[in-house]
Amino acid sequence: MVSLLEKVDQWNWDIFDVHELSEHRALFTLSHYLFLRNNLYNKFQIHTDTFLQFAAEIEAGYHADVPYHNSVHGADVLHGVNYFRNACANAIEFTDMELLILFTAAMIHDFNHPGRNNNFLVNTSDQLALLYNDRSILENHHVSTAFRVLLQPECNFVAKLSKEEHKEFRDTIIELVLATDLQAQHFSILSMFKNKVSLTNSFDPVKVHEDRTLLFKMMIKCADVSNPTKAWPLYEKWTGLVLEEFFTQGDAEKALGIPVSPYYDRDTIYVPASQMGFIDFICVSFLQRREIGRTTASLKTYCFSLPDSTF
């Protein structure tokens, strides 16, 4: 396990191997390792046992019977955020607070996911849809329920933060998790990023707070949809898992007599076309030319890029 964790900065790091070797505790194991490696326990006076209790509760709150949106996916996104952070290191110096925020946001970004998408919850008048008024239902649920876990004294690893630090911690995590909604915020965030980077050349995450937050949103969003950029064995496995989750929802939609969501019908789907649609519509918009994020011209460097084999 130690030798595997030491390779965590590689893009095609096999989170499924970590899942097996850790006895199905990939999220718990990886989060602890990253907190240790970045000295976050000492810097924020975090009691190790308290954080590990939080990590255990978060991992347990992901439903193991959900094929894709489970704790392994949570760990995979945490890995991706860490990868992009390292790739940005020559251009941007991340503060300890920013690392605490980024790692925690990645850990909880799909917490307690029911294996159904937002449209399903709206179409079935689910209690969560009623609670969040049909707006970013799952994303609001993930962050809200995770912070409820954090409120438990035995899980409150940020208890030593000042009032101002806690506000920054909470406010930014909420922004980052809500940014993972591919329906409500995706294209507005992407458009803002592209305009700043490509059209106006005004993107400056070093000096401008809003641009820095925008970069963090892009990091977690790219990590969240990165499966098609991985080596084939990893991509193939993730594809099978996400399709099984989609098909299970499609079966439920048929049983309820409501319209089956696009790509969710196991009887009619053509898998290659569905994957190409996702890659063209979502992934390429992020990852075109492999250049995901560019800082201001003065930095003369890209914040982060994928390996040359991507696409």
- Where helices occur in the chain by DSSP H, the ranges are 2-5, 15-21, 26-37, 40-43, 48-61, 71-87, 96-108, 118-123, 127-131, 137-151, 163-178, 186-194, 209-224, 232-256, 271-278, 284-287
Catalytic residue, candidates 24, 32, 47, 69: 69
Please state, in angstroms and rounded to a whole number, the distance separating the CA atoms of residues 81 and 78: 5
To the nearest 10°, report the CA torsion of 256, 142, 189, 97.
-170
Structure tokens at 58: 């978060």
Burial class from Cβ neighbours inside 10 Å (0-12, 13-18, 19+) for residue 168 reads middle
Can 142 be counted among the known catalytic residues?
no
Sign of CA dihedral 245, 251, 254, 256: negative
Structure tokens at 295: 């800082």
Residue 79: closest CA among 26, 147, 138:
26
User: Catalytic residue numbers?
Assistant: 69
